[in-house]
Structure 1
Amino acid sequence: MVIGITGASGFIGKALALAAKERGHRIVAYSRKKNGNVPHADETRPIQPTGDKPALDPSGLDALVHLAGETVYGYWTAAKKQRIRDSRVDLTRRVVDAIQNCKEDGPKTLLCASGTGAYGDRGDEILTESSKRGWGFLADVCAEWEREAGRAATFGVRVVYLRTGMVVGQGGGAWPLLRRVFSLRLGSRIGDGRQWVPWIHIDDEVGLILDAIENLGYNGPINLTAPNPVTNAEMTRTIANLLNTSTFIPVPGFALKLVLGELGSIALESARAKPEVALRNGYEFKYTDLEHALAMCV
C-alpha cells in the first residue's frame, strides 16, 4: 500500500514509517521544510499548515495518517492554546478539503490523531470507544478535531480516530523526561496518585495504527492504549523500582496548578481508557504490563 504520513518526523511518525516499510508498504511523508529529508520515506511532499494553497497533495495514496499538531507540553497561555487548537482543527479541515478535491485518486482511509483527553476527567470509570466524551479544553479540542476528520466519511472515506494515551518508548515519547526526573530523585506521586494514566508502548502504537490501516474492521474512534492502565501512584512506584531510586515527596495538586497553570490540572485528570475495539478486532498487544514496557526502554 501507499501510506501518507503527516508528522512523519516525530517520534510516532518515524516509528510508524519504519514499521510500515518493514511490512512492504511505500511511505509518502509530508514536511514543512523544502527538500526535507524524512527518515524511512520513499517520497517527501510539502505540507502547508495555513494559506490559500491546498494543505497537501494526497493523490495516489491508499491511506493517510494525519499526526501533525502542536505539542500540548508547555505553559498554556492563550496563544499556546490557540496554536494547539489551530494546528489540529484548522489543519485537519484543510487536509480533509484536499482529500475531497482529489476525488477518485485520493486515499480511501484517513486515520487522524486524537487523544484520550477526549474523555476528560472521569475518575475510576472504565472508558471504551463507546463512552461519551468529556469536558474541558482538551476534550473540546478533540471533539472539534474528530468532527473535522469525520467530514471525510461523507464522501466515502473510512475514518479512524486514534485516541492515543501516554506513549513510552526508547528515545522518545514520555520516557526520556520521566527517566531524567526520576534519575535526579525528583520523581513523585502527583496529588493523591489515584488518577488513571492510559499508556501504550511505541511498538503497539504503530502496530495498532498499521492494523487499522490494513483491517477494514476499524472505523471511528479507537483507544490506542494498553489493556492495563495504571494509576499515577502505580506508575511512580514502577519507575522508581526500575531505576532503583527513591521518590520525592508527593506534589500537591495546588502546587502543580500554581507552577504549570491549566496544564497542571490536566496532569491530575483521570482516564481509565481501555482498547475495546483493538481487542475485538483481534490485535495482540506486545506490552500489557507497564514494568515490562518500560524495561524495554532503559
Structure 2
Amino acid sequence: MSRGLSLLVISILAGFSWSASSPAIAQNNGGSGGQEPPPPNIHSGNTASDIDRVGANDAGILDLNPNVDVSLGGIPCDSGSGACVITAPSDGGASAAAAGGGAGGSPPAPPPPPPPPTHSEIVTQVCPSIPQPAIGVNPREWGVTGVETWLWDSSSRSDQDDGVIRGYPVSCAITPYRWTFDVNEPTAETYGHQEEYEATAAGGEHEDTPVRHMWSTKGTYPIGLTVEWRRETSVDVDPRVVRRATRPYEVREIVIGTVPNPADQ
C-alpha cells in the first residue's frame, strides 16, 4: 500500500513540474498551437548548482523551481512560472565579461607604467652638448722665442639641464676636469721646458693661467688640446668623454744686438 501511494505522489509531482513549465515554453515558441521542441541549452533548475552552470554563451529557457532561492542578476524571469529567458550575446560573452570587469566583477587591472628612460635616452634628449675646445694664446698673433706664451681653453665650462621623459623627471650634468696641452716643440726638453702640460682648470688670458710655455726655436707648431669630461645623468655616469682641438701657432725669433750709432760713421 505504501509503495503504491509513493508512486502516485511521484506521478502527481512530475505532472505538476511539466504543466508549470509548459506555458513558458509555449509562450517562447510564439503560441499554443503545435508545440515545437524547446530551443537548445534549456536548463531545468531544481537546485542552485544548476543555475551556476548557466554561462554567458547559453541561450534558451531556464525553468526555475520557485522554491529554490537563487539570484540571476539581470536575467528576466516570470514571477508566476519561474521561467527565465537567457539570450546569448553576439560577441560570445565578451561584452558581458567586459561590463563586469572580469571574473568576480572586480575592476580591470590598470595598464603597466611606461619603462623608465635609459642613460642613452637622457644623453640624447636632455644632456647639454659637450663643446669642442677653443685654444687661446697670448701673444695672440705670433709667439717669440725666449718669451712665455699663455695657453688656455676658452670654451669648456660645466653645464646642467633637466627634463621629463615618458613622465619621469631626469637630469644631466657635464663637467670638464682635465686639460692637456701639447706644444709639439721637439727641442723643448733640450732647453729645460716641457712639451706637454696638464692642468685641472681651463685657465684664461692672465698671468695666473696654469699653462705657460717658453719657445726655444722659431717655427710654426700645431698646438694640441685634449679636454676630458665627466657626464652624469640621473641613471648612470660616463666617467670620461674626450674632446680634442688643434691650432697652428707661429713662433718668431728676435735677435738683440748692438745697433750702430750713426754719429760714429
TM-score norm. by structure 1 comes to: 0.19
Relative contact order (alpha carbons < 8 A, sep ≥ 6): 1 or 2 greater? 1
Q: Scaled by the length of structure 2, what TM-score is found?
A: 0.20
Indicate the structure (1 or 2) with the bigger Cα radius of gyration: 2
Higher helix share: 1
